[in-house]
Every structure is written in C-alpha cells, then in structure tokens.
Homo-oligomer: A and B are copies of this chain.
Amino acid sequence: MSIISKNNNSCSHCNGKADIFSCLCPTELDQIDAKRIEVYFKAGELIFKQGTPNLHFLCLTKGKVKLYIEGYNEKNLIIGIVKPIEYIFGPGIYVDNIHHYSAMAIEDSQACLVDIDLFKKLMRENSDFMEEFIRKVSLLSIINFEQFISLTQKQMPGRIADVLLYLRDKVYEANPFRTTLSRQDLADMSGMSKESAIRILREFKDEGIIQVNGNEFEILNSEHLSKISQTG
C-alpha cells in the first residue's frame, strides 16, 4: 500500500458524484483537501481490521471493497460491497473509535482518508453536511434490516437470489457481470456454507435462471429470480 498525499486530483473533482460533500462550501472542502491522504490498495489487501482504532473517514474513488464482520469459528459475514464514489465509515466513529467490521479491497482500489476529527468538526459547523451524514447512516441501517430479514427468514435459494440481484443492481449495475468475489464470498454474503452456495447456483443454472461461467454471471430470468427472492 502506497501513500500519496495531495496529488493532482482534488476533493472538488469528486464533488459532483460524492453527494455528501456537495453540502460543503469551498473553504470547507479546502480543509479536507489539505488533510486528506490518498491511498492505493491492491486486490486482496486489508484496508482496516475489525477491532482496530477507527481514525479515518474513507471515500472510495476507485475499485471495490467488501465490508465484513468477523464472527465465530473463522466465519465472516459480508455486510456490503462498496463501489466508487461511496463512503466507508463505521458506527464506532461516535461511540468507541473502534472498527466494528473489516474492509478488504476485492479489486485494485484507491481511497481518500479524511481525519475523523476534522470530519466531526465540519459536522458540528455545517448542519446540512450533518443531515446528509445522518441520512447516509440511516440508509445503511435500512439496507441492513433488509439483509437481516433475508438472512434470518429466507431459505438458501431466496438468499442467493438476493445476492445475485444485489450484485447486478447495486454493485456492478450490469448484466452479465464479472465479479472478483469468490464462492466463499458469495456464501459469506448469504450466510451459508460455500458448498451450499455452489449447489444453489448450479440449481439456478440447471433451471435456466442464470448463466454461470467461472466468475461471470448472467441473470437470464429476472422475474423468476425475483419470485424466488420473495417466496423465500
């Protein structure tokens, strides 16, 4: 991981896409610009680990990152995949300054790190910015509830369907899509064993609902998949 601060890109460059920062005036953006650190991560590299101090607010500008809770018996639960330009920040910021999940690059990635204290200061000074932030936190929480219900009340086919639809609609925004997530990752997203995930994928393939070729997936029958998602 290599650190390059203050390169030719600036915060205002990201600003167009990165909604939350559009609440900040130029002076405020400059403060962030002056203190932000730009970091590159290779695919597979750990960005931060659950349990370590949470010192930065992170803005992903390139690549993709998986967020996962490290649970019991070496099992992980992937709670989301982040793509540019989106933010990575944990609930620990205002509680205990500890990361409550881990983040790992699943593609070569680039991120800006903003000092948490500066971030908090701007929040206090700019209530539009603050409200946008709360909106983001709240949205995360709502998405969380959905995954919660999916994992606790649906059977395996429904959960795999949810993962496939999530990847197509929210992560890759394409169909077919090629993923760098392993089968183990797909299992960690749907709360089941790797073998079970593979089996369900094969069933979907046999039924003509999806096409699978290594890491390339294509959803052929969207309606059927949505129905499986709903009937659990």
Contacts and interface: CB of A to CB of B under 8 A. Distances in A.
Interface centre among A92, A94, A135, A232 (most CB of B within 10 A): A94
A153 interface: yes
Contacts of A154: 72
A94 B100 CA distance: 23
A175 to B, nearest CB: 25
Report copies per complex.
2
Interface in A82-108: 91-95, 100-101
Interface of A: 69, 71-73, 75, 77, 79, 91-95, 100-101, 120, 123-125, 127, 130-131, 133-135, 137-142, 144-145, 148-149, 151-154, 191, 230, 232
A139 B232 contact: no
Contact of A127 (B72, B93, B123, B135): B123
Nearest to A151: B152
A139 B141 CA distance: 12
Contacts of A95: 135, 138-139, 142
Given A101-B145, A149-B69, A139 B191 contact: no
A140 B92 CA distance: 11
B137 A72 contact: no
B152 A94 contact: no
A59 to B, nearest CB: 19
A92 B100 CA distance: 23
A148 B94 contact: no
A153 B94 contact: no
A148 B145 contact: no
A191 B73 contact: no
Contact of A232 (B73, B124, B135): B73
